[in-house]
Amino acid sequence: MRLFDTHAHIGLIDEDPIEQLIVVQEARHEEIEGILSICNNVRDFFGIYENLKTASNVYFAVGVSPSEVTNPGRDWESQIEKGLELPRVVAVGETGLDYYRRFGNKDSQIELFVQQLELADRLDKPVVVHNRDAGNDVLEILQQKIPSRGAVLHCFSENWSYAQKALELPIYISFAGNVTYRNARNLHETAKNMPLERMLIESESPFMVPASHRGERNRPSYLPETARFLADLRGISEEELSEALYQNSCRFFGIDPAQGR
């Protein structure tokens, strides 16, 4: 069995550079052969990249999340372009909309989101999309601006009807530990019915910890629990599910599963 964690905030799990490398090594012991490192801004990205660039199973996304809309950083667009020139930097993100926390205002969030979608399209990269309480606007914007390489709706939280509309676009849907929660029936329905070839999996660590680890800070090494739940939900073996999700991850992010980027 092998898994690809498509969304992990390694820098938020632990600030210590040595501990970050231990998190990656620990995940490898759990057969997690790929991790996509996510940062909320370009300032943090370069520090995390420098620390983890020797970890060959770690890939990176670079972007500005809606939480940073009031302070995206100086020359943030050129900094994203600079980051995307580095080895194993495979996506723009995370970016998107978050109306729950009320970061800035809706117009400023939408402008930041659209700018990164256009940048990703110009640079031929996929996009990692954040959506919290902003589903209608996220989908409407993607219908108009989705990059040619597509997008992933990370930590999916909408219902099956929404997923069906999203899947009309070149979109993948990623499930985190919250799919294992007993009351997450909308996620259960979506994960059970959606095409397996468009599904991804993520830890979203240190957040969205799987059910059996509630109360803890999440880690990529907990990802197999989410995989087991999804396999049971779909009535297939863990091996079949994990291999399909691994291949999906490599295909979406443009990674050669045998040789890396």
**Could you give the CA distance from residue 151 to residue 128 in angstroms, rounded to a whole number?**
6
Burial class (CB in 10 A: 0-12, 13-18, 19+), 50: exposed
Is 94 annotated among the ligand-binding residues? Answer: yes
Is 188 annotated among the ligand-binding residues? Answer: no
Number of Cβ within a 10 Å radius of residue 114: 14
SS3 content of the chain, % helix, strand, coil (to 5): 50, 20, 35
Is 29 annotated among the ligand-binding residues? Answer: no
Is 9 annotated among the ligand-binding residues? Answer: yes
Contact 119, 81 (CB under 8 A): yes
Is 15 annotated among the ligand-binding residues? Answer: no
Strands of 3-8's sheet, edge to edge?
3-8, 32-37, 58-62, 89-98, 127-132, 151-153, 171-175, 199-201
Provide the annotated binding site.
Answer: 7, 9, 94, 130, 154
Provide the annotated binding site for a divalent metal cation.
Answer: 7, 9, 94, 130, 154
